[in-house]
């Protein structure tokens, strides 16, 4: 972009000011950097109707992801899910996609003193999100007019986009799982691949860091919809949401979702399937970088060394 020049933090901050000046007719008094996501620069700027948040990406293709987020947030809002209000999406003159939204007042939920209450509310909101019916599976669904990249069936998605068998083979090749676990995962993957189900909207990263809690202690907004997808609900979202929670915290989330203990037991094999197969990205990266220490740490984890509840 811009003759091949990369966009750094300083350039992105200057660009955020230029974008707001173009949209508002005058430059903001200040532009303050905020903690960004994996692929965006994020800034806050004052506005007479409340602070604005500007997200900018150095990747021109991110415009598609911003449009996907806008579609998903609009549908989720219709279901009663609190989300930020998107005011503008566009591409800056240098080819950098941007999104401008209103900042939701409150605090990040990661260290909230009443985290279990927040987790219960997150579970309830997850169920509302899963009430949004979609068409197609994966990252290309209703928000996009593209047809060739759309996976119309669940099996097609698992095979071509998610590449479940390839993920399983990687874990097997590097001895990341016990033989009994590999056998169980392969059987579950085979069973899940045969499902005929209707897709639904999934947030893709329902974790405390993506939740804003208002002064009243209630969830004010679910943020960061960049990983939203059309998927099997509730399995995809729950496998990610529950991954790094304590056992008690997991139970609080599932209580909010409305899952009984029996339903949790029935869903557990599929939650394990996606949780373990999702580790393949980290495993592949460690192998590529010849990071033996990380591979050993992941191997110990996936072999169940930290599981204190089952034999």
In this prediction, residue 36 carries a pLDDT of: 65
Bridge partner list, 45: 52
SS3 212: strand
Q: With 60 as the cut, is the pLDDT of residue 210 above it?
A: yes
Decide if 114 contacts 121 (C-beta within 8 A).
Answer: no
Q: Encoding tokens for residue 246? A: 């304590």
CATH T-level assignment (fold) for domain 9-102: Phosphorylase Kinase; domain 1 (3.30.200)
Enumerate the domain spans of the chain: 9-102, 107-302
d(CA 254, CA 124): 9
Residue count (the chain)? 311
Return d(Cα 99, Cα 140) in angstroms, integer.
20
Average confidence score pLDDT of the chain: 93
CATH of the domain spanning 107-302: 3.90.1200.10
Segment 151-196, tens digit of pLDDT = 889 999 999 999 999 999 999 999 999 999 999 999 999 999 999 9
- For the cut 50, the answer to whether the pLDDT of residue 209 exceeds it is yes
């Amino acid at each position: 972009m811009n003759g091949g020049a990369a966009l750094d933090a300083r350039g992105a901050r200057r660009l955020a000011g230029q974008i707001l000046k173009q949209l508002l007719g005058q430059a903001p008094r200040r532009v303050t950097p905020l903690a960004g996501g994996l692929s965006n620069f994020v800034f806050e700027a004052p506005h007479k109707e409340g602070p604005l948040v500007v997200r900018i990406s150095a990747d021109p293709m991110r415009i598609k992801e911003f449009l996907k987020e806008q579609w998903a947030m609009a549908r989720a809002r219709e279901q009663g899910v609190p989300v930020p209000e998107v005011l503008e999406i566009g591409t800056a003159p240098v080819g950098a996609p941007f999104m401008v939204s209103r900042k939701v007042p409150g605090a990040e939920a990661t260290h909230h003193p009443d985290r279990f209450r927040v987790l219960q509310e997150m579970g309830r909101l997850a169920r509302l999100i899963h009430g949004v019916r979609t068409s197609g599976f994966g990252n290309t669904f209703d928000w996009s007019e593209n047809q060739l990249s759309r996976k119309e069936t669940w099996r097609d998605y698992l095979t071509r986009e998610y590449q479940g068998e390839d993920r399983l083979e990687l874990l097997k090749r590097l001895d990341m799982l016990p033989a009994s676990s590999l056998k169980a995962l392969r059987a579950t993957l085979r069973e899940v691949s045969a499902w005929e189900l209707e897709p639904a909207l999934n947030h893709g990263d329902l974790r405390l860091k993506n939740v804003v809690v208002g002064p009243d202690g209630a969830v004010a907004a679910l943020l960061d919809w960049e990983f939203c997808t059309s998927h099997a609900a509730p399995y995809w979202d729950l496998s990610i949401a529950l991954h790094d929670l304590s056992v008690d915290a997991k139970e609080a989330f599932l209580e909010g979702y409305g899952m009984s203990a029996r339903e949790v037991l029935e869903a557990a094999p599929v939650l394990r399937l996606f949780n373990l197969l999702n580790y393949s990205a980290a495993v592949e990266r460690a192998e590529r970088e010849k990071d033996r220490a990380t591979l050993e740490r992941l191997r110990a984890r996936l072999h169940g060394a930290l599981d204190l509840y089952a034999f």
